[in-house]
Amino acid sequence: MGKALKALNVPREHLVVSTKLWKCGTGVNSSCTLSRKHIIEGLTNSLKRLDLSYVDVVFCHRHDDDAPVEEVVRGMNWLIENNKAFYWGTSEWSAADIMEAYRVCDKLNLIRPIVE
């Protein structure tokens, strides 16, 4: 994908690039797919594959019942505060799970997801 983006020869600021995070293996670190570790390492690896320094939107693909919502939103907030992404969103989350993420973000003054 990184080669394809380069071949377009379009200025980066003219593109909207997104990626999603979810289970990426069978090892011990893949059991809690939206842990802070997985979120940060997953996006770092995605950025390497895309040959980019940031994405516009990163999605948490599917809700992870094993990861506390606070850990997920703190991980996503870290990505944004460290210029790895501008926004974050959810993918295939229930309305109740999204509302819980909003509640935790508001309580901790963190960045809310902007898209499902």
* pLDDT over 90 (residue 112): yes
- Sorted by where each starts, the structural domains of the chain and their CATH numbers stand as 2-108 (3.20.20.100)
Q: How far is CA 13 from the centre of its chain?
A: 19
Question: What letter would DSSP give residue 28?
Answer: G
- What is the Cα gyration radius of the chain? 14
For 55-103, write each residue's pLDDT tens digit. Answer: 999 999 999 998 999 999 999 999 999 999 999 999 999 999 999 999 9
pLDDT for the residue 75: 97
Measured distance CA(2)–CA(11) in Å, rounded: 14
For 27-50, write each residue's pLDDT tens digit. Answer: 666 655 898 999 999 999 999 999
User: Coil, strand or helix: which one is 50?
Assistant: helix
Other C-beta atoms closer than 10 Å to the C-beta of 14 total: 7
Measured distance CA(80)–CA(51) in Å, rounded: 18
